[in-house]
Amino acid sequence: MNWTDLNLIPAMPEIVLLVALCVVLLADLWVKDENRFITHILSLLSLAAVAVTQWLVWTPDSVYTFGGMYIADGMSRLSKMVMYAGLFALFVYSKPYNQARNIFKGEFYTLSLFALIGMSVMVSAGHFLTAYIGLELLSLSLYAMIALRRDSAKAAEAALKYFVLGALASGLLLYGISMVYGATGSLEFATVLATAYDGQAQEWLLKLGVVFIVVAVAFKLGAVPFHMWVPDVYQGAPTSVAAFVGSVPKIAAVVFAFRILVTGLGTVQHDWTQMLAILAVASLLVGNLAAIMQTNIKRMFAYSTISHMGFILLAFMAGALGFTAGLYYAIAYVVMGLVGFGVLMLLSNEAVECEEVNDLAGLNQRNAWYAFLMLLAMFSMAGIPPLMGFYAKFAVIKALLSQGYIWLSVFAVVMSLIGAFYYLRVVKVMYFDPAANEQPVGSNAAAKVFLSVNAALLLVWGVMPQSVMDWCLKALENTL
């Protein structure tokens, strides 16, 4: 790399985020527990500063720097803005919950910001090693966050299981990367793609590397049969951490998969689409059928996540139209997940942990607004019009039909109908079951306002989805 030509401007959001993280980390050392809100405010200001920086350096062109290892293009910029907004909302929702659970600590904020740096590096990676470093920074932060409640055996077990399986997946990814290097002599996505197109790559070794890389990507997305960690992590982790694991990192994982599979391994697309088809069908089937049997709502969300990831994997099979639909689906999933987990956090207090479906019984009588917000989240996840989740599924199925995948489209529709059962069961419990606890639900003003806006986006972007689809389409055009 020629250091005299180094351009730091495209990476300025990550630089600002790192500096802000150091400020939060040092400030938190001097903050007492009763003044922990200072860390909270500094973290929110850090996210705002990073978002403004991203906006200021936004350009319509793709920019490569650090010797092609870092890319600032439409897809990375859009996904980062969604991640900043999602984490900002999560910090607001989680404050009362973390205070009630005695985990309102600086570690929650610093680890979240470290994870955000990892995600930012993942979505801007132009090199296999850059992508791997970003992925590991995210993963290590998540391992620690899941075990944040040191007095919880479930949290420790979930963190250990995720760590062991995550280490295995990382090893498989590295093994696959080494094979790609052996086949092409490079780890830069553009060079790998060009070498393969020119017929200079060892095809059998490249395809073998793709197998290991797809397995690692499937693990990070939580696709069947590499989904074993998802239900235990969602159930064992504090709800505020489960909300983080189940929302913002998903869009990073989707863009990460796009970088590796499309911009790096596009020449063997026929091979990885066949693998993704198997993973998608298995994820839709297992995710939806297993979710029906769950009584723990966090565990139900985990299996529904697996089914949603199946839809996103299907989108990867449908070319440019599918990639646009997949990015839209990832954004929709972040919005839906934040609403669902946000309501669970606001319904929990010092005495009650809202994590069973029956804990929502009679919620309409206790707090009609929270019940309505959860109803919007459930209807959207079920794919009921005119909410955002419906258009996300419709866009994926439309893309599949355009490529002739009729049987996959029919299967996806059938699985959506099955999935609607367990989402509607939650609505039935909230509106028609008698309340086990007649006490009114307390509310945090800031969290309630943000959650209401969050839920409103499900309706607005469902009725008028073209604005978000245009963002996704422009981001993709600026990437390919």
Helices (H), 259-318: 269-292, 297-315
* pLDDT of 4 strictly over 60: no
* pLDDT 10s digits, 306-318: 999 999 999 988 8
Cis peptide bond N-terminal to 465, omega within 30:
no
CA–CA dist 327, 291 (Å, integer): 24
**pLDDT reported for residue 224:** 85
* pLDDT 10s digits, 360-416: 888 888 888 888 999 999 999 998 888 898 999 999 999 999 888 899 999 999 999
Q: What is the percent of the chain with per-residue pLDDT over 70, rounded to a whole number?
A: 97
How confident is the model over 272-283, as a mean pLDDT? Answer: 91
- Which long-range contacts does 195-201 make (Cβ < 8 Å, 24+ apart)? 196/265, 196/267, 196/268, 197/267, 201/267
CB proximity list for 171: less than 8 A, separation 6 or greater: none
Q: What amino acid occupies position 45?
A: L
Closest CA to 338 of 43, 79, 89, 83: 89
**pLDDT reported for residue 265:** 84
How confident is the model over 198-211, as a mean pLDDT? Answer: 85
**pLDDT reported for residue 440:** 65
For 79, half-sphere exposure in the C-beta direction (CA atoms, 13 angstrom radius) is 35
**pLDDT reported for residue 3:** 58
Mean pLDDT of all residues in the chain?
87
Q: Which of 109-118, 195-204, 257-266, 470-479 has the highest mean pLDDT?
A: 109-118
CA–CA dist 333, 391 (Å, integer): 12
Strand-pair partners of 71? 64
CA–CA dist 83, 121 (Å, integer): 12
**pLDDT reported for residue 44:** 92
Higher pLDDT, 87 or 353: 87
- Using CA atoms of 69, 255, 167, 126 in order, give the dihedral in degrees to the nearest 10: -10
Q: Lowest-pLDDT range, 6-10, 57-61, 476-480? A: 476-480
- Which long-range contacts does 438-443 make (Cβ < 8 Å, 24+ apart)? 438/362, 438/365, 438/366, 439/366, 440/366, 440/367, 441/346, 441/347, 441/363, 441/366, 441/367, 441/370, 442/349, 443/346, 443/367, 443/370
- Using CA atoms of 108, 439, 447, 89 in order, give the dihedral in degrees to the nearest 10: 50
Q: Which residue has the tokens 């839709």?
A: 284
Higher pLDDT, 114 or 58: 114
How confident is the model over 315-326, as a mean pLDDT? Answer: 87
**pLDDT reported for residue 350:** 72
Cis peptide bond N-terminal to 440, omega within 30:
no
Residue 22, token pair as written in the block: 């150091």
Closest CA to 76 of 461, 476, 468: 476
Strand-pair partners of 127? 188
Q: What is the percent of the chain with per-residue pLDDT over 90, rounded to a whole number?
A: 37
pTM above 0.85, yes or no: yes
Which sign, positive or negative, has the C-alpha torsion 60, 64, 65, 69?
Answer: positive
Closest CA to 416 of 386, 389, 376: 389
For 136, half-sphere exposure in the C-beta direction (CA atoms, 13 angstrom radius) is 12
DSSP track, 103-148: --SHHHHHHHHHHHHHHHHHHTB-BHHHHHHHHHHHHHHHHHHHT-
Q: Which of 28-32, 201-205, 235-239 has the highest mean pLDDT?
A: 235-239
* pLDDT of 286 strictly over 70: yes
